[in-house]
Amino acid sequence: MKITFIAGESFGTRSMATYIETKDANILIDPGVALAPRRFGLPPHPIELDKQKEHWNNIVEYGKKADIMVITHYHYDHHNPRQDISTMFSDKIVLCKDPTENINYSQSRRGIYFIEKINKYVRKTEYADGKTFRFGDTYLVFSAPLPHGEDTRLGYVLGVYIYDGENSFLFSSDVEGIPLKEQLDFIHSQNPQLLYIDGPLTYMLGSKYNKDILHMSISNLLRLTDMDNLEVFILDHHLIRDAEWLSWVLEVYEAARYNGIWIGTAAEFMGKKPKLLEAYRRELYRER
């Protein structure tokens, strides 16, 4: 199994786009990339806009090679209804979040619109909530709909576990640092070797996020470091919108390392230094 992280906060954009090659299938999860419309009262800096274009072009290139497209929910950093639909979705098998059940109003509208658009081109679309699919020796196991964070105001997401007979990978989608037992239980039940987790929402501390939820997250993240099979633990996405991100999860880093687990961001897994842009937007404007 080969895993490529294409875009994400540690690469300078909002995304979790991931490409997985197994001997049976090429799978692209969440082909979308977005930017914070406002951060520190500022719109995206031109450097961020360039990075978004670059990442989108890369997503399209991987999309062309994929057999299976996975859409875990309908936020614009995870799908794109406006660009390259025919190029990316022609003849694809699409496994996606059911847009009619366990979903909030805005995602339901976006999901129905998106599926209507891609259905002109795809081979087939299947709602994946709670289902398992098999392609040769490769299994894709989807979670039941899980809350997007500590409540369901932002709707639900699907986690996905992929196993090819030798290696295993789990993509949490937007669980905002797994504050809830049901999010933790899905990961524990699958026991993957490589784990890609959306980290806590610390950049919202003091507004839409609080320390109690952060503590719930940290204690659940610590429990992941005890999993038998875990070799690689990646924390990224919401967490990396905060320049101080590492200070909040030091305990998790220590526990993982103590247990011999490699821990880092998606960029580091790809052999690159994390390059946060949104978290340094004020500085980007000052430098110009």
Return residues touching Fe ion (CB under 5 A).
75, 77, 174
Q: How far is the CB of 274 from Fe ion (least distance, A)?
A: 17
Q: How far is the CB of 157 from Fe ion (least distance, A)?
A: 7
Nearer to Fe ion, 174 or 242 (CB): 174
Q: How far is the CB of 134 from Fe ion (least distance, A)?
A: 27
Q: How far is the CB of 184 from Fe ion (least distance, A)?
A: 18
Instruction: State the Cα–Cα distance between residues 70 and 154, nearest whole angstrom.
Output: 19
Nearer to Fe ion, 137 or 182 (CB): 182
Nearer to Fe ion, 77 or 242 (CB): 77
Q: How far is the CB of 273 from Fe ion (least distance, A)?
A: 22
Q: How far is the CB of 148 from Fe ion (least distance, A)?
A: 5
Nearer to Fe ion, 79 or 281 (CB): 79
